Structure 1
Amino acid sequence: MKRAHRQKLQLCDALEKIADALPGVDRLHCLGTANAIVPLLRNIHQYEETIIFPAYEAALAGVNVNLASTRRLRAEHVEDECFAGEVTEILLAIGQSETVKNAEAVGFMLRGFFESVRRHIAFEREHVLPMIGIVDWS
């Protein structure tokens, strides 16, 4: 999980760097980032949904808690993957020398995506992982 979060945070940092540089971005960096987004998220989401979330739900079972959190996290995975597809399309276009017509809108889109991913990670670190015995983030 530490590695998964580190990889997602590195992706967020890369997207933030692109957003900050708009409209004069490194096109190769855009292409590389675009090609990494969807596969990275799909792999991590699959791991979370098959390993982490069931462990979290099992830990909560004895506490008699509503499992709305994991339902919401799973829904966020779907939303993130859809949003990742849109971000990928934009980054591929920029990487293939398409002019950035509205840098502010593209930056807003990128920031919306990576801030959502960062919030998801923060929730997992604060609520999910401690319940399954993962607490050391050093």
Structure 2
Amino acid sequence: MTASVGAASDAGYMPRIDMERGHRQMLQACEALEALADQLPGDVDRLGCLMLASTLIPLLDACHGFEEAVVLPAFARTQRDVAIVARLKAEHLQDRCAAEDLVEALSAHGHGRPISNPEAFGYMLRAFFDSMRRHIAFERDHVLPALAPEG
């Protein structure tokens, strides 16, 4: 068994609880993106596209910022595995780049531009939410167990 990170940081964070909350919010966004992908090639909800476009990057930045500032340093102290931390940070950067492209496409459609290639748009949506779900699953399996349970 590995050592656990303390229950709360100096900033008042509860790493495990806050990370689980971020995971839930990201998974809800993934569900919304999947629902949009499932609507293709038919009538895709323009308002839904705009809502996702306006919230996706701020949510991603908040989750990844918290993980990089609080969770990953704590994980690195207990696990001493810099390769995992480097991998997760690299995935955060890749996810951010993919989210920017996705937000551009969501915004364009939300503002009235037709989806010229529904298959490519669907692939973009699915690639993003599949990647996010894999990333979250890895963190749940390998990072969360190293964090102290908080009450």
TM-score using structure 1 length? 0.91
Query: How far apart in 1 are the matches of 2:115 and 2:79?
Result: 47
Gaps of 5+ in 1: none
The residue correspondences of 1:11-22 to structure 2 (distance < 5 A) are: 11-22=29-40
Secondary structure of residue in 1 paired with 2:113: coil
Query: How far apart in 2 are the matches of 1:133 and 1:105?
Result: 42
**Aligned partner letter, 1:10:** Q
Computed over aligned residues only, the root mean square deviation of the Cα atoms, in angstroms, reads 1.2
Offset, 1:133 = 2.7
* Structure 1 position 78 matched with structure 2 position 93: yes
Q: In the alignment, what sits opposite 2:21?
A: 3
Secondary structure of residue in 2 paired with 1:45: helix
Q: In the alignment, what sits opposite 2:136?
A: 121
Instruction: List 4+ stretches of structure 1 deviating above 6 A.
Output: none
Query: How far apart in 1 are the matches of 2:94 and 2:57?
Result: 12
Query: How far apart in 2 are the matches of 1:2 and 1:132?
Result: 11
Query: How far apart in 2 are the matches of 1:127 and 1:133?
Result: 13
Query: How far apart in 2 are the matches of 1:87 and 1:108?
Result: 11
Deviation sequence 1:60-83 (CA, Å, 0-9, x none): 13xxxx420110100111110111
Q: Count residues with an aligned counterpart.
A: 131
Query: How far apart in 1 are the matches of 2:86 and 2:100?
Result: 22
Deviation sequence 1:2-56 (CA, Å, 0-9, x none): 1100000000001000011023111000000011111110111110001100110
Q: In the alignment, what sits opposite 2:61?
A: 42
